[in-house]
Structure 1
Amino acid sequence: MAYTDIKTVIKGKLEALKDDNEKTLLREVFLFDSNKSTGYPYATVVQSISEGEIIDNTRVERIYEIAVKVFQEISEGGKSNEEAMTLMTTIEDEIINMFDSDRQLTVNGVPSCERVEIVSANKDYGTNESPYIILNFQVRCIKIIDKTC
C-alpha cells in the first residue's frame, strides 16, 4: 500500500460523506491540486511528505502525510460567508468523524494502514475568481511494511 493507494482510499471515503438528508457533501474529490471543479464544495487529496524508519531486519515503518483540502466559494449568487462557514464546519466535523471512526482506513474488511491520525485542521480564506474558504487537514498514515533485508 503506497501513496496512490492510500490517497484513493481517502478519496473514496470523502466521496461517500453525506449530510443529514443523505445528500453527498462534496461535489468532487481530486487526487491532485485543482481549481477546475464543476461546483462547490470540492476537495483535493495530495501527498505532502513521507518518511520511514527501519524497525528491524524484516519491518519498515513508513509514514505518509497527506493534505486534504476542501474549498467552498463565497459569492453574491452563491453562499454567504456565514452559510459557507456553517457548511465548512459541518464538513470538518464529518471528516474528523470519518477518520476517528476508521483509524485504519478499512476497505472491504482490510486495513490500508496501521493507523491514521489527523495532524492538524484549520480554515483559511483565499481568492481565485471569487473568495472562498479552505478547510485544510494534514493527515498522517502509518504503515508497517514487511521487508526482508
Structure 2
Amino acid sequence: MSSWRPSRRNQDRDEIVERTEDEWRKLLSPEEYRVLREAGTEPPFSGEYVDLDAEGTYRCRACGNPLFSSQAKYHSGSGWPSFFETLSPDAVRLRKDTSHGMTRTEVLCARCGSHLGHLFTDGPRPTGLRYCMNSLSLSFEPAEADNTE
C-alpha cells in the first residue's frame, strides 16, 4: 500500500486534481494504480475495508476526496466494501461501463477521475443503491474520539 497521503490543502472538495499518468504511477503502488487508473478490480473478500466497522470517512486513495461515511456502509456479502449513499451528491461521477461483456455503472472520483468501483440498484433502504467499491481505491479516516467525559 502506498504511504502517500494528500495534504489537507489538497483535500478541498472543489479543487480538481489533474496529474499525468507518470505522476500517478509515482504516487500510487502498482496495485493501487491498476485499480484507480486502469479500472481494475481487487479479488472479492481480499480488501482491507470489506469487514471494517469503525466510524469515520472513506476518502479517495488517489486524491483524498471525501466519498462515503461509515454510517452508509453495510455488509452486502459481495466481497467488496458497500455503501448505500455518498457523502454528497457531487463526490462521485457515474459513467456507463460496457467492459467484460456486461453493462454496469462505473463510479469515478469527481475530483481526480480515478476508478472507485461500480454502482448497482440492489442495495438496502433507504436508497436501494449499492456502491460496490474497491478497498484499494479508498483510504479510511477514523472519526475523532470524543474525549468530553
What is the TM-score normalised by the length of structure 1?
0.27
What is the TM-score normalised by the length of structure 2?
0.27
Computing the radius of gyration over CA atoms, which structure comes out larger, 1 or 2?
1
Larger strand proportion of the pair: 1
